[in-house]
Amino acid sequence: MFDNPVLELLSRVHPIVPPALYLPVVTICLVRAVGHEGLGVAPVAGVFVLGLLAWSLAEYLLHRFVFHFQPDTRWGRRLHFIIHGVHHDYPHDPMRLVMPPSVSIPLAIATFFGFRALLGPAWSLPLFAGFVVGYLFYDMSHYHIHHHRSQNRISLLLRRYHYRHHFQQSSRGFGVTSPLWDKVFGTFPILRRRSG
């Protein structure tokens, strides 16, 4: 994709990298929240679930408003292609199905400090841990949808849902791991009945 070998290297990532990078961070956040900060397990679990839900909304909003933003400038169109357009042009490239650390690490740091400013040092830990687990579920699901052919019913439903976005209605179906926010915001794909 890139003539520059450094940019090419930074844009490709093996799917094991995000879990290897972020599962230790999740563990540290949860252990620190309960052990060092002295927060109760049940409240930590509740805030963790809020983090999962926050990721779900972020996944939808990022996909709809950032990844599918239509810039007017040549530079903007090039940047858009690099961020998400290449995925729509080459949806089965196994090394470009999860977010590279060159992008995810700065975003994770900004998100962590945003949560910290919002909730303080203690409660931001389980919120961030849940958010990151949601992100990992998204990245691994996205890889699985494009790279494997599972016979699992839920996996097949998610694959059909996401492929409808890719190949039929790119202005709808922005949720990858769940259609929840597409239903809430009215962007659920239009299901056409087959004439028979």
pLDDT computed for residue 51 by the predictor:
98
Residue 22 neighbours by CB under 8 Å, 6+ apart: 104, 108, 132, 135, 136
pTM of the predicted structure, to 2 decimals: 0.83
Is it the case that residue 23 has pLDDT exceeding 90? yes
Average pLDDT for 59-81: 77
Residue 30 neighbours by CB under 8 Å, 6+ apart: 44, 48, 125, 126, 129
Answer with the residue of higher pLDDT: 8 or 173.
173
Average pLDDT for 43-50: 98
* Confidence grade of residue 88 (pLDDT, cut at 50, 70, 90): low
pLDDT computed for residue 169 by the predictor:
75
pLDDT computed for residue 58 by the predictor:
95
pLDDT computed for residue 10 by the predictor:
62
Residue 95 neighbours by CB under 8 Å, 6+ apart: 12, 13, 14
